[in-house]
Amino acid sequence: MTSDAVRAALAHVVDPEIRRPITELDMVRAVTVDGSRATVDLRLTIIGCPAAETIERDIRAAVLTVPGIDELDLVVGVMTVPEREALVARLRGTRTTQFGPDTLTKIYAVTSGKGGVGKSTLTANLAVALAATGLKVGLIDADVFGFSIPGILGIVGEKPTKVGDLMMPPVAHGVSVISIGMFVDGSTAVSWRGPLLHRTIQQFLTDVWFGDLDVLLLDLPPGTGDVAISIGQLLPHAEVLVVTTPQPAAADVAERSGLVARQTGQTVIGVIENMTGELFGSGGGDAVAARLDVPVLARIPLSVGLREGGDTGTPVVFADPSDPAAVAILSLAATLAARTRDLAGRKLPISPR
């Protein structure tokens, strides 16, 4: 009876990387109770699992809330190879169509005409803001020229954990993040050729285990190069957000990015104007939106907090939600979250024959 209660408590402990209860992941080998002392036999997925400390702490906290239990003996081991293979097969089974055409995950590719317009900063903050609304959010940093996402989210140097041939992405502020920067030293990816980039992105979409995401964001490189085309081919059902600054020159190149996305079958859903204010001229967002026939979904003001948050790895939407840029990004997140929930709640159209 009490060991059932301990198991029930353990069902609330979630593996921070796989984001499933440890009981569902076959990580709890055995639970025994002797008087007021519980013994839990835990099997980690891999040796040196970076999440081990968190899991052990959470187990301790959960088990000691069970009435009648005031001592915990936690035996920590590692899965055998066949156990791990069985787990990987099971996880794969739930995600073979992870981001296929009939996925329920909303996929937003964020593009811009040129670099330096704030695309990565906004994408990272938008991801954190969406996660804060309770959605499960993944972020793929495919910006070969920058891969600045790990820096903006404060996870520089973190790498995915390998479980069999699956990769568990690091989680930052509730967002599962994978970046080309996690696979290269320095900035060598800039010189990667199209086929290697294509394979890498394909691998991100198949071998990185994101779990059941509500939203996947992709930070694309600026412009209309190989990565944009690969994403267009691999995810033709993705929706595209175009980031521009207010200057007319920026607007021209931003429009081109939107048009290329459209050629691959993707739908441009709106424009985000960044660094809105007197300083940089005006009208860029409206101009791109008018030419692409989509709305301006947000105007993000210049903000020291947004920039500093990116430099220090603490996104402003998290550190200072009252900052005007954070307010604008949170409001954009609410708009997107509403569309996302609509879709998730909708029955698939099935027409009787």
Applying CB under 6 A, the residues found at the interface with ligand ADP are: 112, 115-121, 146, 148, 274-275, 300, 302-303, 306-307, 310, 325
Of 10 and 124, CB closest to ligand ADP: 124
CA distance 243 to 179: 20
35 to 30, 39, 89: CA distances (angstroms): 16, 11, 38
What is the β-pairing status of strands 175-179 and 171-172? antiparallel
Of 214 and 320, CB closest to ligand ADP: 320
User: For residue 130, what are its two tokens?
Assistant: 């969406």
Of 145 and 183, CB closest to ligand ADP: 145
Is the alpha carbon torsion for 60, 62, 64, 68 positive or negative? negative
**What is the SS3 assignment for 341?**
helix
Rounded to a whole number of angstroms, the minimum distance from the CB of residue 298 to ligand ADP is 11
Of 118 and 246, CB closest to ligand ADP: 118
Rounded to a whole number of angstroms, the minimum distance from the CB of residue 109 to ligand ADP is 13
Rounded to a whole number of angstroms, the minimum distance from the CB of residue 191 to ligand ADP is 18
Q: What are phi and psi of 320, to 5 degrees?
A: -150, 75
Rounded to a whole number of angstroms, the minimum distance from the CB of residue 250 to ligand ADP is 10
User: For residue 194, what are its two tokens?
Assistant: 């199209």
Do 114 and 222 meet the contact criterion of CB atoms below 8 Å apart?
yes
CA distance 231 to 201: 8
CA distance 151 to 153: 5
Residue nearest to ligand ADP (CB): 118
Of 61 and 279, CB closest to ligand ADP: 279
Of 13 and 228, CB closest to ligand ADP: 228
Rounded to a whole number of angstroms, the minimum distance from the CB of residue 116 to ligand ADP is 5
CA 236: distance to chain centroid? 19
Rounded to a whole number of angstroms, the minimum distance from the CB of residue 1 to ligand ADP is 55
CA distance 178 to 150: 8
Q: What is the DSSP code string of 231-260?
A: HHHH-TT-EEEEEE-SSHHHHHHHHHHHHH
Of 72 and 124, CB closest to ligand ADP: 124
Rounded to a whole number of angstroms, the minimum distance from the CB of residue 283 to ligand ADP is 17
Rounded to a whole number of angstroms, the minimum distance from the CB of residue 279 to ligand ADP is 10
Of 149 and 171, CB closest to ligand ADP: 149
The upper half-sphere exposure of residue 209, i.e. CA atoms within 13 Å in the direction of its Cβ, equals 24
